[in-house]
Structure 1
Amino acid sequence: MKRYQLMMALLASLLFLTEGMQAKITLPAFFSDGMVLQQQSSVAIWGNSDKKKQKVTIKTSWNQKKCATITDELGQWKVRVETPVYGGPYSIEVSDGETVTINDVLIGEVWLCSGQSNMDMRVGGRYSDPVIGSLDAIVTSENPEIRMFMVGSKMTSAPLTDCEGIWQEASSETVPDFSAAGYFFARKLNEVLRIPVGIIHASYGGSRVEAWMSKEAIEPYKDLEDVHNASILYNGMLSPVVGYGIRGCLWYQGEANVDAPDLYTQLFPSLVNDWRKKWGMGELPFYYAQIAPFNYNKGEGKGKNSAYLREAQTACLKLIPSSGMIILTDIGDARTIHPMEKEAVGNRFAYMALGRTYGKKGFPTTGPLYKSMQTEGNKITLSFDEMGKGLTTYRQQLTGFEVAGEDKVFHPANARFGKDAQTVIVSSPEVEQPVAVRYAFKDYIKGTLYNMSGLPASSFRTDNW
Structure 2
Amino acid sequence: MKKHFIVLVSVMLLWNTTVLKANVTLPAIISSGMVLQQQSNVTLWGTAKANAKVTVQTSWNQKVYNVNTTKEGTWRLAVATPKAGGPYKITFNDGSKLVVDDVFIGEVWLCSGQSNMEMPVKGYANQPILNSNEILMDADEPGIRLFRVEKKMSKTPQTQLDAKWESADAASVKEFSAVGYQFARILQKRLKVPVGIIQSAFGGTDIEAWMTTSSLQGFNDFKIPADTAKIAKNNPGVLFNAMINPIIGYSIKGTLWYQGENNRMNPLTYDKKMAAMVKQWRQLWNSGEWPFYYVQIAPNVYKDHADQIPLLYEAQSRAMKLIPNSGMVVSVDVGSMTTIHPPDKTIISKRLAYWALNNTYGKQGIVFRGPVYKSLEITGDKAVLSFDEIPNGLTAYDQKLISFEIAGIDKVFYPAEALIKGKTVVVSSESVKSPVAVRYAFKDRAEGNLYNVEGLPAEPFRTDSW
- Taking structure 2 as the reference length, what is the TM-score of the superposition? 0.94
Partner of 1:26: 25
| Structure 2 residue ranges without an equivalent (≥5) | 227-234
Residue 47 (structure 1) aligned with residue 50 (structure 2) = no
Partner of 1:275: 281
The aligned amino acid for 2:295 is: A
The aligned amino acid for 1:444 is: R
Report sequence identity in percent: 47
CA contact (8 A) 1:259 1:303 kept: no
How far the C-alpha of 1:225 sits from its partner, in A, is 2.3
How far the C-alpha of 1:98 sits from its partner, in A, is 1.0
Indicate which of 347, 362, 365 corresponds to 1:359. Answer: 362
Q: SS of the counterpart of 2:338?
A: coil
The aligned amino acid for 1:275 is: W
CA contact (8 A) 1:179 1:201 kept: yes
The aligned amino acid for 1:390 is: G
Counterparts of 1:236-275 in structure 2, within 5 Å, are: 236-275=242-281
How far the C-alpha of 1:386 sits from its partner, in A, is 2.4
In the alignment, the residues of structure 1 paired with residue 405 and residue 355 of structure 2 have an alpha-carbon distance, to the nearest angstrom, of: 30
Partner of 1:211: 209
Q: SS of the counterpart of 1:174?
A: helix
CA contact (8 A) 2:357 2:366 kept: no
Q: Any idea what the Cα deviations from partners look like across 1:208-264, whole Å, max 9, x if unmatched?
A: 000000122123335622556000100110110111000000000000001111021
The aligned amino acid for 2:363 is: K
The aligned amino acid for 2:454 is: S
| Structure 1 residue ranges without an equivalent (≥5) | none
How far the C-alpha of 1:7 sits from its partner, in A, is 10
Indicate which of 345, 350, 361 corresponds to 1:347. Answer: 350
Q: After TM superposition, which residue ranges in structure 1, 4 or more long, deviate above 4 angstroms?
A: 5-12
The aligned amino acid for 1:379 is: K
Partner of 2:291: 285
How far the C-alpha of 1:404 sits from its partner, in A, is 1.1
Partner of 2:167: 169
Indicate which of 313, 317, 320 corresponds to 1:317. Answer: 320
In the alignment, the residues of structure 1 paired with residue 257 and residue 69 of structure 2 have an alpha-carbon distance, to the nearest angstrom, of: 35
Partner of 2:424: 423
CA contact (8 A) 1:293 1:329 kept: yes
In the alignment, the residues of structure 2 paired with residue 97 and residue 364 of structure 1 have an alpha-carbon distance, to the nearest angstrom, of: 54
Q: SS of the counterpart of 2:174?
A: helix
The aligned amino acid for 1:34 is: G
In the alignment, the residues of structure 2 paired with residue 252 and residue 24 of structure 1 have an alpha-carbon distance, to the nearest angstrom, of: 39
How far the C-alpha of 1:17 sits from its partner, in A, is 4.6
Indicate the larger mover: 129-138 or 424-433. 424-433
Indicate which of 81, 95, 100 corresponds to 1:102. Answer: 100
Residue 82 (structure 1) aligned with residue 83 (structure 2) = no
Q: Any idea what the Cα deviations from partners look like across 1:96-155, whole Å, max 9, x if unmatched?
A: 111111110000000000000000000010143100100010012110011110001100
Q: Any idea what the Cα deviations from partners look like across 1:249-293, whole Å, max 9, x if unmatched?
A: 000000000111102122111111111111112211000000001
Partner of 1:234: 240
CA contact (8 A) 1:34 1:105 kept: yes
Distance 1:57 1:360, change over 3 A: same
Distance 1:176 1:54, change over 3 A: same
Indicate the larger mover: 387-396 or 137-146. 387-396
Pairwise CA RMSD: 1.9
In the alignment, the residues of structure 2 paired with residue 28 and residue 322 of structure 1 have an alpha-carbon distance, to the nearest angstrom, of: 29
Residue 225 (structure 1) aligned with residue 223 (structure 2) = yes
Q: SS of the counterpart of 1:26?
A: coil
Q: SS of the counterpart of 2:171?
A: coil
CA contact (8 A) 1:311 1:460 kept: yes
How far the C-alpha of 1:389 sits from its partner, in A, is 2.3
How far the C-alpha of 1:174 sits from its partner, in A, is 0.9
CA contact (8 A) 1:378 1:433 kept: yes
CA contact (8 A) 1:34 1:104 kept: yes
Counterparts of 1:320-331 in structure 2, within 5 Å, are: 320-331=323-334
Partner of 1:396: 399
Residue 456 (structure 1) aligned with residue 454 (structure 2) = no
Indicate the larger mover: 386-395 or 154-163. 386-395
Q: SS of the counterpart of 1:25?
A: coil
How far the C-alpha of 1:34 sits from its partner, in A, is 0.6
CA contact (8 A) 1:364 1:387 kept: no
How far the C-alpha of 1:304 sits from its partner, in A, is 2.9
The aligned amino acid for 2:119 is: M
How far the C-alpha of 1:397 sits from its partner, in A, is 0.7
Q: SS of the counterpart of 2:361?
A: coil
Partner of 1:378: 381
How far the C-alpha of 1:70 sits from its partner, in A, is 0.9
The aligned amino acid for 2:414 is: H
In the alignment, the residues of structure 2 paired with residue 189 and residue 366 of structure 1 have an alpha-carbon distance, to the nearest angstrom, of: 18
Q: SS of the counterpart of 2:150?
A: coil
Partner of 1:65: 63
CA contact (8 A) 2:159 2:245 kept: yes
In the alignment, the residues of structure 2 paired with residue 6 and residue 166 of structure 1 have an alpha-carbon distance, to the nearest angstrom, of: 44
In the alignment, the residues of structure 2 paired with residue 173 and residue 8 of structure 1 have an alpha-carbon distance, to the nearest angstrom, of: 50
Partner of 1:129: 127
In the alignment, the residues of structure 1 paired with residue 70 and residue 297 of structure 2 have an alpha-carbon distance, to the nearest angstrom, of: 45
The aligned amino acid for 1:268 is: M
The aligned amino acid for 2:321 is: K
Equivalent pairs, count? 457
Distance 1:95 1:461, change over 3 A: same
The aligned amino acid for 2:382 is: K
Distance 1:151 1:435, change over 3 A: same
How far the C-alpha of 1:201 sits from its partner, in A, is 0.2
Residue 185 (structure 1) aligned with residue 183 (structure 2) = yes
Q: SS of the counterpart of 1:304?
A: helix
In the alignment, the residues of structure 2 paired with residue 164 and residue 388 of structure 1 have an alpha-carbon distance, to the nearest angstrom, of: 49
In the alignment, the residues of structure 2 paired with residue 163 and residue 333 of structure 1 have an alpha-carbon distance, to the nearest angstrom, of: 35
CA contact (8 A) 1:363 1:453 kept: no
How far the C-alpha of 1:191 sits from its partner, in A, is 1.1
How far the C-alpha of 1:454 sits from its partner, in A, is 1.8
In the alignment, the residues of structure 2 paired with residue 206 and residue 427 of structure 1 have an alpha-carbon distance, to the nearest angstrom, of: 40
Distance 1:373 1:268, change over 3 A: same
Q: Any idea what the Cα deviations from partners look like across 1:32-76, whole Å, max 9, x if unmatched?
A: 111000000000000112x21111111100000011111112111
Q: Any idea what the Cα deviations from partners look like across 1:413-441, whole Å, max 9, x if unmatched?
A: 1111122xx22111222222212110000
Partner of 2:34: 35
In the alignment, the residues of structure 1 paired with residue 45 and residue 334 of structure 2 have an alpha-carbon distance, to the nearest angstrom, of: 42
- Taking structure 1 as the reference length, what is the TM-score of the superposition? 0.94
Q: SS of the counterpart of 1:177?
A: coil
Q: Any idea what the Cα deviations from partners look like across 1:81-106, whole Å, max 9, x if unmatched?
A: 00000000000011111111111000
